[in-house]
Amino acid sequence: MAPKKTRVKKAQTKKKAAKRIQPKEILSPDTPPADGSSPFTRLPLEVHMVIGDTLKAGMQLGALAKLARTSRRLCSFYEQQIYKGRGNSNNIVALMWGTRHNSVTVMQSAQQWGANLDVRAYHLNRMGRNRTHGMHGSGTALQLAIRDQNNVSMCWLLDEHARVDIPGKPAQGMCQCTTQSRSHASSLHLAFCNENLLAATTLLRREPVASVRYSLEVDTRSILNTAVKAAFSGYSVSFLAVALENPAIRKSINSFQGLDHRTPIKVALSPHHEGRHLLEQILDAMVKAGASLGPYPHGSDVEGHHSPLWSSLYRGDREAATYLLRLGCDPNGDRPLPITPEWRSPLHWYIRHESHERWYTPGWQQEHVAHEWMGQRRPSIRDFIVVLLEHGASLDITDLAGNSPLDYAVSYMDRFVEPRRRVAGFKLVKLLLAKVKAEGISKKSREGADDVMATLVQDLRAEHATHDLSDVRVRELSAADWDYDSEEEEEREPIRLGWHAWRREGGRLRRK
């Protein structure tokens, strides 16, 4: 007989082995779902369908309830087979689960057990980039599929004749735009806002009337404005092209809607978009569709005699202004009739009278280089003045006071102005006369400017100035670089520059 110690050890080993093979207790249906770490939960949905049908045929509802508790992922899938019946909330949960996971099988099963495809439910919003506007949203299964870009579910729902929008019940909390749009949004707005190009294309081609009509009723901004933003953020002009295919949307290209008082072209010119490299293509597509480059309509946020070109100049976005000029925008700034006191042409904007810029360097006198601005290479003011002249800007166009840009440029060559500024004005006028088109200046104005320039050269020679007139920069040379004719200089009366060449006699100024 074995020792007592050995017998006790063998008994303990048998007891442990029996404990290991003892089956676990079956969980009740009221037990919360597990965390889903079991390999069983990773099986394909088709396998779960076979298992569920087999257990349901054998009336093993307890086993179905236990499978439903193996993970949160399978909870709605198995519960909708246990608790069948029209209007049961578990069928709706299963429908939304199948929509979120692109499972047509689960959605078909939920529909067979009575799930309404047009019912609204609450959804947990996605978190991450641009997904932080609230934790929950409400909408139909179709709107959920559009928002999450589950296009397989979307196509199945449309094939099953799910309604695109329900009158009086827009999607809430599922949009990433302004506060009003987050509260109320149409399915078409969700497609563009969430950059779902396939959904937007499908809705506009399969349900064009219903989707556009409900968007006009519900959305707080024009659907075309949303398409423009989607084209920038999605880095694709296709969003805008799809929207412009619809005649009703294309008709609203020069208008605004709801609380958004901006036209589509004003939205496109905003400097805060990500895909700024697509600006020229987007503007080109809008102009071809009929977008106006003239003044904005009455009631907009920039109504009056302000055009898209002026909006770009006011922000200093000379790159966008260059694109607008290429597309046919008026380089003279759409001069109104009758002229208003606040109107000025773009050349008036950049070339002001010398008295207004006496204490600082004018913008057009800055270095002849381009520099970075808002992530893009912005041309200098001097370069942009050349662009305006090349596109037909006039040097003779006058404001309400009767002054033209050429008059303002010539004012820098007045004899009482500092010599450096006179030289800068000479080079500016020389540039203007060289780049302006024939129809942009009259013969009389050109001859008058030439006379002023010739007078300046005489003054410089008489003063033995050391300024170089050969390029755009204002710089000084040594006296040896000037080739003077001494005999000719003796015959001329010396003309001095600046206040040091004058003396005060009583209330008058006389030359020294």
| Structure token digits, residue 292 | 């106006």
Q: What are phi and psi of 154, to 5 degrees?
A: -60, -45
* pLDDT for the residue numbered 125: 58
Q: What angle do CA 236, 241, 246 make, to 5 degrees?
A: 150
* pLDDT for the residue numbered 81: 63
pTM of the predicted model over 0.85:
no
Nearest in space to 233 (alpha carbons), one of 195, 284, 204:
195
Q: Is 458 helix (H, G, I), strand (E, B) or coil?
A: helix
Rounded Cα distance, 40 and 80, in Å = 19
Q: Residue ranges of the domains in the chain? A: 26-116, 364-511
* pLDDT for the residue numbered 375: 44
Rounded Cα distance, 93 and 76, in Å = 6
The amino acid present at 362, given as its one-letter code, is P
Q: Following CA atoms 347, 290, 256, 206 in sequence, which dihedral angle do they give, to the nearest 10 degrees?
A: -150
- Bond from prior residue into 405 cis (ω within 30 degrees of 0): no
* pLDDT for the residue numbered 494: 43
Q: Which residues of the chain have pLDDT under 50?
A: 18-32, 127-134, 368-376, 477-499
| Structure token digits, residue 456 | 């300046």
List Cα–Cα distances, 508 to 355, 497, 504, in angstroms.
22, 17, 6
Q: First and final CA of the chain: distance in angstroms? A: 142
| Structure token digits, residue 438 | 């024939």
Q: Are 383 and 326 in contact (CB under 8 A)?
A: no
DSSP notation for 374-430: TTEEEPPHHHHHHHHHHTT--SS---TTS--HHHHHHGGG-TTS-HHHHHHHHHHHH
Q: What are phi and psi of 476, to 5 degrees?
A: -110, 145
Q: Are 386 and 431 in contact (CB under 8 A)?
A: yes
Q: Are 510 and 503 in contact (CB under 8 A)?
A: yes
* pLDDT for the residue numbered 510: 60
* pLDDT for the residue numbered 91: 76
Please report which helix (H) or strand (E) contains residue 121, including its range.
strand 121-124
* pLDDT for the residue numbered 505: 64
* pLDDT for the residue numbered 503: 60
**Cβ atoms < 10 Å from Cβ of 34:** 15
Half-sphere exposure of 463 (CA within 13 A, CB side): 20
List Cα–Cα distances, 168 to 74, 143, 171, 209, 270, in angstroms.
33, 15, 10, 17, 33
The predicted-structure confidence for 349-386, as pLDDT tens digits, reads as follows 889 888 888 777 787 776 544 444 444 455 678 888 99
Rounded Cα distance, 278 and 288, in Å = 16
Q: Which residues contact 134 (CB under 8 A, 6 or more apart)?
A: 125, 173, 182
3-state class percentages of the chain: helix first, strand second, coil last, to nearest 5:
50, 5, 40
Q: Is 480 helix (H, G, I), strand (E, B) or coil?
A: helix
Q: Are 98 and 110 in contact (CB under 8 A)?
A: yes
Rounded Cα distance, 443 and 362, in Å = 28
Nearest in space to 266 (alpha carbons), one of 300, 217, 298:
300
